[in-house]
Amino acid sequence: MTLQAKDTILVLDFGSQYSQLIARRVREAGAFSLLVAPNESLEKLRAHKPKGIILSGGPASVTDAGAPVCDPHLFDLGVPVLGICYGMQLGCQLLGSQVGKAPAREYGRTKLHVKVADGLLQGISSPATVWMSHGDQVTGLSNDFEILASTPTCPAAAVKHRTQKFWGVQFHPEVTHTPCGVDILRNFLQEACGCTGSWAMADFLDEEVARVRKQVGKDRVICGLSGGVDSAVAAALIARAVPGQMTCIFVDNGLLRKNERDLVESAFRHHFDVELKVVDARKEFLNDLAGIEDPQE
């Protein structure tokens, strides 16, 4: 089964510090998730065949010129969309509501009073503790929306569009400071998007191993190792897929952490079926960097 055939949720990343966490929470709930740029075209979004889309939070204000936006025709895709914080404000604005400054910037825990305890907020006790981090909020909600929940300072803390498949929450369900957040995300995934909750990371690993084997065949692979997580994980994945067919090249540039070269050599010589070549380029790098004080040079 390909990734496209799975329950795929796209997370449009508007620059939130929690965007990766949103993607992780979706995966933990049993659906595959992908982080994508907010300005991705409808054609590219549609190509992923998503069961749903989540609009992340972000540091910008939707009222600012040049603030990141998604395609205004996003809702034409016909899949459920959940907006979180900035994502809620953007979705509400695109669907005819007004966004403005909150009476006071809100950061921290607050009490969520549930008005409609079905759908997105099914099974959520009221009041519930949620985590807020925002300076703007929806100040003029269109009549096309229904308010699902409020807080003492935010009348529209959770909303639903009456005809479009859009839900919005002003708080952050993805953080541990919102204890009911996992349940809210699961409600969106299963009740709104129809996800089965059967996906697991092990499935992704098996599929990627099969994909690498098919692409490489009997050829050899060259992989540059930096000592960081990204290149190490990529090398480990390829080594599992095509053992004995990869040459890893690690360059010691003289700027590594203490014992990092020894750690990389030990890990890849003893735990992976790869050919490891270590290049000692300390002299070349340090000579060329001599006298340079500006890290931007």
d(CA 296, CA 207): 40
What is residue 3's predicted lDDT score, i.e. its pLDDT? 46
Query: Is 85 known to be catalytic?
Result: yes
Comma-separated ranges of CATH 3.40.50.620 domains in the chain? 201-289
Residue 82 has which token pair?
């959940």
Catalytic residue among 70, 85, 193, 195: 85
Query: Is 172 known to be catalytic?
Result: yes
At residue 293 the predicted structure's pLDDT band, cuts being 50, 70 and 90, is confident
Query: Is 195 known to be catalytic?
Result: no
Among 2.60.40.1180, 3.40.50.620, 3.10.180.10, 3.10.20.90, what is the CATH number of 201-289?
3.40.50.620
Looking at the domain covering 3-192, what would its CATH class be? Answer: alpha beta
Comma-separated ranges of CATH 3.40.50.880 domains in the chain? 3-192
Of the candidates 175, 174, 168, the one whose C-alpha atom is nearest the C-alpha of residue 154 is: 168
Of the candidates 69, 62, 32, 38, the one whose C-alpha atom is nearest the C-alpha of residue 195 is: 32
Percentage of the residues of the chain whose pLDDT score is greater than 90: 69
Q: Is the pLDDT of residue 1 over 50?
A: no
Q: What is the mean pLDDT of residues 191-205?
A: 89
Q: What is the mean pLDDT of residues 101-117?
A: 84
d(CA 98, CA 159): 14
Sign of torsion, CA 225 228 263 244? negative
Catalytic residue among 134, 174, 180, 195: 174
Catalytic residue among 172, 180, 195, 223: 172
